[in-house]
Structure 1
């Protein structure tokens, strides 16, 4: 599908590319399946590298995987000062999975949607009503789902480190500490601030990732509207710059998760 004199208008082209499969039902099928497939890709690559790992001269894949694992491990050692068997696998999964989902932005804008249209047409559907968005992190549903999962980990880490009673007590005694009657007066204020802080974390995590990836996806769509000969002139530099954005957003989401979990296990 491309915007031309014989095809859809620029507005129709953009709207088509920004419409999710299954959007009418409220469940974005393309986001779900692309994210799920990329999750299995991550497991397959890293699982294969682990099975083939050797203490001798490592291959290129083992070197690459070890480089990522060591980078994640160094960030955990710098920011997370407690002991946990979960923080390492969780951080690695977050970084690689988000990076893979972000990287779908590097595929040609029309490639997978056009394939989906041909498949849909062969199955008897109207090709013009077959939609596919291939960047899961450009969907706020995906980024909020991940950030809410991080909140559940924050609560879980807090309860494990302080106990259920200690966590509930902290909700009413921090950040403002007091004794006697003032402690009772400040309890509702502390609880309100704790709720605001807890709500701000998933919102900031989700919107930062979503905003950057949605903007990147939209720019690639706008570049695709240009004549073919100039697409490469603008698209190539943007794609090179976008490599930094894709990697940085995955790294930031991972680092903030590590920091939030580190704060969760520390006493105020």
Structure 2
């Protein structure tokens, strides 16, 4: 493989945006596992569980420790947002909101680690491609949004029953005499929710990653260029300190809104 010094700016960016993949069986294309996305997502999920476990391991009802207090504040914030948004009675909503927000937040935070800090050690280990931010992979964001879609179906069927859900799907919003139009409209509405949910998160994270790489390669190898790249990179990093939690919050809130709407009668 050519060294980084021999790569052009375009090939450098393409190299860092390429996933480590493995085909399933003899197939390819759709039947391809993005190993880096899968491994990093699982590691961030386990890290989230571990950090919460640290907060509860020595939890005290009186004066909490600093980490316990911080975790409690974060959990209370998410719980309050979920309760204010969801109008049903399910006890699953707050755990769903907590999982989505903190898992996506941790995956997004990997964007703060410079790409070469991860790529270079992996190259020494023989791994030449590793896309570090799972949410910059549309497969990950679609996977989460499809999970939300099935939760929407579950909440709707639990609230209305199969008969009530089917009747509403065919008769709302124009009445039974407009059944074909109702069917088309409701299919588009239900499918557009997970797709827009996935694309919004993916677009922001993928676009931000490209800008980080562009700032780095446009700085060039000169001292002035490197200093300029560092200044602009720092500014973009500070901006992304707002974008990263905001995108996690938006994904969580829209998911809860969709779950609430799936139980509402039309």
**Alignment TM-score, normalising by the size of structure 1:** 0.90
**2:207 counterpart (212, 215, 231):** 215
**1:39 counterpart (37, 45, 61):** 45
Of the structure 1 ranges 228-237 and 241-250, higher mean CA displacement relative to structure 2 is found in: 228-237
1:157·1:265 contact (CA, 8 Å) conserved in 2? yes
User: What aligned pairs does 1:89-238 form with structure 2 within 5 A after superposition?
Assistant: 89-120=95-126, 130-177=128-175, 183=176, 185-225=177-217, 226=219, 227-238=225-236
Of the structure 1 ranges 79-88 and 46-55, higher mean CA displacement relative to structure 2 is found in: 46-55
SS at match of 1:27: strand
Structure-1 residue corresponding to 2:70: 64
Unaligned residue ranges in structure 1 (runs of 5+):
121-126, 178-182
> Paired residues, what number?
253
Structure-1 residue corresponding to 2:36: 30
Structure-2 residue corresponding to 1:10: 9
Change (3 A) 1:234 1:3: farther
1:3·1:9 contact (CA, 8 Å) conserved in 2? no
Query: Equivalents in 1 of 2:107, 2:19: separation in Å?
Result: 16
Query: Equivalents in 2 of 1:2, 1:258: separation in Å?
Result: 47
Query: Equivalents in 2 of 1:176, 1:53: separation in Å?
Result: 54
SS at match of 1:102: helix
Give the deviation of 1:2 after TM superposition.
11
Q: Deviations over 1:86-110 (max 9, x none)?
A: 1010000000000000100000121
Query: Equivalents in 1 of 2:2, 2:233: separation in Å?
Result: 16
Change (3 A) 1:197 1:163: same
Query: Equivalents in 1 of 2:207, 2:9: separation in Å?
Result: 17
Structural RMSD (CA): 1.7
Q: Deviations over 1:24-74 (max 9, x none)?
A: 753211000000100000111112212322111111111111111111111
Give the deviation of 1:232 after TM superposition.
1.8
Structure-2 residue corresponding to 1:243: 241
Give the deviation of 1:7 after TM superposition.
2.4
Unaligned residue ranges in structure 2 (runs of 5+):
220-224
